[in-house]
Amino acid sequence: MSPIDIQKALKGMEYPATKEKILEHAKGGDEDVVTALQKIDDREYEGPSGVSAAVFD
């Protein structure tokens, strides 16, 4: 899995977004991406780069 996979899963996502909304948006997509997103901090994210940083931090 790469940051590009995260970006693809979050395509069309409106920001700022909470972890809950991000998970809801990615649901039904790549299982590895959803699993990784479940591990991010429960906070509001300003954009996809922030989400990717949280996943790969």
Q: What is the 3-state secondary structure (H, E, C) of 2-52?
A: CHHHHHHHCCCCCCCEEHHHHHHHHCCCCHHHHHHHHCCCCCEECCHHHHH
Q: What is the pLDDT of residue 54?
A: 97
2-43 pLDDT, tens digit per residue, is: 999 999 999 999 999 999 999 999 999 999 999 999 999 999
pTM summary value:
0.92
For residue 57, pLDDT over 90 is answered with no
